[in-house]
Amino acid sequence: MEEFKRRLIHLLHWPGTTWNSVDRLLKKDPKLLTVKYDLPQEYYSSQSTNHSISQQLQKSFSSEILHEQIRQYKTNQIHIITVFDKEYPPMLREIFQPPWALFAKGDLSLLTLEPKLAVVGSRQATQYGKNAIRLMFPGLIKRNVLIVSGLAKGIDTLAHECTIQNDGKTIAVIAGGFYHIYPRENMNLALDMMKNQLIVSEYPPDTKPMRWHFPARNRIISGMSKGTLIIEAKRKSGSLITANYAVNEGRDVFSLPGSIFNPFSCGTNDLIQQGAKLVASAEDILEEIIF
């Protein structure tokens, strides 16, 4: 592992590190020469307004422990792909605040496959949403569309499972790290995907998922994809955050129409009114995303 990459990975493990704090340090020190065995004092101080707390964190954050932790990733077949590596997904590199690194477990070749379609929706999937996935996915997978989703309950889970059942390829982008899979009931699905598909996260493996990780990971789901399909969503839904990210990055947005009496179709119907493409078949999507 080259020294610059080692230093960047070291930074990403520092408690309280944010995208902006890494960005500021890179602007001051593009080669991260000040990040050697320990982080520069000014970085510690910037992460805590309390000097005594900052000193305690600095002492407890042992580089020796960290290096051993990172060495264990190889044993556990966890790969780290930074935004500066050629393996990093090109479309993801184009977004606002692309992840500094992706921690990945599974088939890395999936990162290079195109086209990718993000599929998200309600955690309380209805039979209508399930039927829509079963109707459209075989046609998408037959044309080698790779499905990207978030391993959440409901539509995300169905998207991954239906892809696998149809011998397709799928990537899960998770909140938190590999050692804290959420939700727990998707552990078996996650373990299977770590062997035969791919799971990625912008957070080190021992990171517990926090509330703000979920909307943040949505930018990665849409960011690595040519388009985003919203299956079901209420008006106030995390799926609409994903759709907004896609719109802001100039990507295609597809939406499944639904009954005006179904609250899980209110969000998708609103998206169509706002300009998302109404989809009723795989062909409606394929004609937009096949190069």
**pLDDT tens digits, residue range 236-277?**
888 999 999 999 999 999 999 999 999 999 999 999 999 999
Q: How far apart are CA 172 and CA 255, in angstroms?
A: 20
Rounded CA gap, 215 and 232, in Å?
A: 17
Better pLDDT: 41 or 247? 247
What does the pLDDT average to over 230-238?
92
Examine the pLDDT at 184 and tell me if it is beyond 60.
yes
User: What angle in degrees, to the nearest 10, is found between the helix axes of 3-12 and 19-28?
Assistant: 140
Residue 80 three-state SS: strand
Residue 260 near residue 150, CB atoms below 8 Å: no
Helix-strand-coil split of the chain, %, nearest 5? 50, 15, 40
Q: How far is CA 222 from CA 66, 197, 247, in A?
A: 31, 18, 9
What is the per-residue pLDDT for 244? 93
pLDDT band at 70 (very low <50, low <70, confident <90, very high): confident
State how far the Cα of 204 lies from the Cα of 177, in Å rounded to an integer. 6
pLDDT of residue 57: 44
Q: How far apart are CA 133 and CA 19, in angstroms?
A: 35
Distance between CA atoms of 257 and 103, rounded to whole angstroms? 35
CA distance 139 to 8: 41
Check whether 2 has a pLDDT greater than 90: no
pLDDT digit string, tens, across residues 172-183: 999 999 999 999
Q: Which residue has better confidence, 290 or 108?
A: 108
List pLDDT tens digits, range 144-183. Answer: 999 999 999 999 999 999 999 999 999 999 999 999 999 9
**110-115 mean pLDDT:** 96
Query: Would you place residue 54 in the very low, low, confident or very high pLDDT band (cuts 50, 70, 90)?
Result: very low
Q: What percent of the chain has pLDDT over 90?
A: 79
Q: Which residues contact 40 (CB under 8 A, 6 or more apart)?
A: 25, 29, 34
User: Has residue 115 got a pLDDT over 60?
Assistant: yes
pLDDT band of residue 127 (cuts 50, 70, 90) is: very high
CATH number attached to the domain at 106-289: 3.40.50.450
* Three-state SS at 82: strand
49 pLDDT band, cuts 50/70/90, is very low
Share of the chain above pLDDT 70, in %: 89
Residue 235 has pLDDT above 80, yes or no: yes
Residue 48 has pLDDT above 50, yes or no: no
Give per-residue burial for 126-164: e unless 16+ CB within 10 Å, then b.
beebbebbeebbebbbeeebbbbbbbbbbbbbbbbbbbb
**Given pLDDT bands bounded at 50, 70 and 90, which one contains residue 56?**
very low
- Quote the CA–CA distance of 55 and 47 in Å, as a whole number: 11
pLDDT at residue number 33: 85
**pLDDT score of 50 more than 50:** no
Rounded CA gap, 165 and 155, in Å? 15
